[in-house]
A = this chain, B = another copy of it.
Amino acid sequence: MASDLAARRGRLRQRLAELDVDAALITGLANIRYLSGFTGSNAALVVYADGSDVFCTDGRYRTQSAGQVPDLERVIERNCARALAERLGAENVARIGYESHSVTVDGLDELRETAPDATLSSVREAVESLRAVKDEDEIALLREACAIADRALADLIDRNSIRTGRSEIEVGRELDGLMLEHGAEAVSFETIVASGPNSAVPHHRPTGRDLEAGDFVKFDFGALYGGYHSDMTRTYVLGQPAEWQREIYAVVHEAQRLGTAALSIAADVRHVDAAARDHVKASGYGEEFGHGLGHGVGLEIHEAPAVSYLGAGTLAERMTVTVEPGVYLEGRGGVRIEDILVVRAEGPELLTQTGKDLTVL
């Protein structure tokens, strides 16, 4: 794992020349974790062109960082970005890169004061673009994060816990507890349980509403494992499905299949989105699918690439993305189906294993 981390820093180092900087001050926590292995909540990292990388965290993490970041020089200071900026200033580093999407205005002012002679410029999302392509260790963690979520949902169904008379909140809490039991470090994000008309709200927060016969019940949830986020959505029907429910379920199911089939190396993300969206549009529900098809997922729940009509760029081998079309009929109900997949030369690898056929509970 230490060699993976060094290789990641090496890939960033290779980019420093084209970014016109001698060193990059990394302050985004997910980026720091990616490059150093450190999992705490306060840190900064400098990657130098000459390889003399240095890491900073505060005293709370002295022991933890010794274990997680043994191969880097470590500085222990409360204000990590300032401590490393002072060092860069003292070393007279001429061109310092920083992350303009994560450094605050106050943070940049502090950097300017601390290294007044340096030329400061943004490295933009250089680390995020590296992170979009996973290594196999990362994929293994995502696979397990997905498996935990699959197992928790299977248990919830086996226990007959998704039933009339239970509230969205109750069912959601049970699902969260099952993920923890199956080994999740935490939930990936606030679990969505959306029943009946609430299922038409793409991002519904669970309420005290009791599940009723005839409801769509939509679950969007995931497990955190080794720092990696799973993310899946399944939509069930309680009792006999109505014709409109069968119809939109079939549309979303087929769109999800088509979007998945379009995942290939060098595919334009807008074309992948269109592969699913065109089917939804042709079925007459284009207006009811108001979000992008998917997103990259890893150390953050939403990361590059955006698989969307608003996105840009192409897929690459070992990108991990969600495919999650939905159709939402306001006031009635909605369906979304979401898996995580790995882009592979031989065709996408499916990490989410739960079945997708219309399931009546």
Binding site for B on A (CB under 8 A): 39-40, 59-61, 63-64, 78, 98, 100-109, 122, 173, 176-177, 180-181, 185-187, 190, 201-205, 290-291, 310
Is A64 within 8 A of B205, CB to CB?
A: yes
Residues of chain B contacted by A205 (CB below 8 angstroms): 39, 64
Is the beta-carbon distance between B101 and A104 smaller than 8 angstroms? yes
A61-B203, A100-B106 given; 12 more Cβ-contact pairs under 8 Å: A59-B291, A64-B203, A64-B204, A64-B205, A78-B310, A100-B109, A101-B105, A102-B104, A103-B105, A105-B105, A177-B177, A177-B180
Residue from A63, A78, A181 whose CB has the most chain B CB atoms within 10 Å: A63
**B-chain residues with CB within 8 Å of residue A100 when the two chains form the complex:** 104-106, 109
List 14 contacting pairs A-B, 8 Å CB cutoff, sorted by A.
Answer: A39-B205, A59-B202, A59-B290, A60-B202, A63-B201, A64-B204, A98-B105, A102-B104, A104-B105, A105-B108, A105-B122, A173-B180, A185-B190, A186-B187
Check if A203 sits within 8 Å of B40, measured CB to CB.
Answer: yes
Contacts of A310 in B (CB 8 A): 78
Closest 10 CB pairs of A and B: A60-B203, A100-B105, A177-B177, A100-B106, A63-B201, A173-B180, A101-B106, A60-B202, A105-B108, A103-B105
Chain B residues whose CB sits within 8 angstroms of the CB of A203 once the complex forms: 40, 60-61, 64
- Residues of chain B within 8 A of A40, CB atoms compared: 203
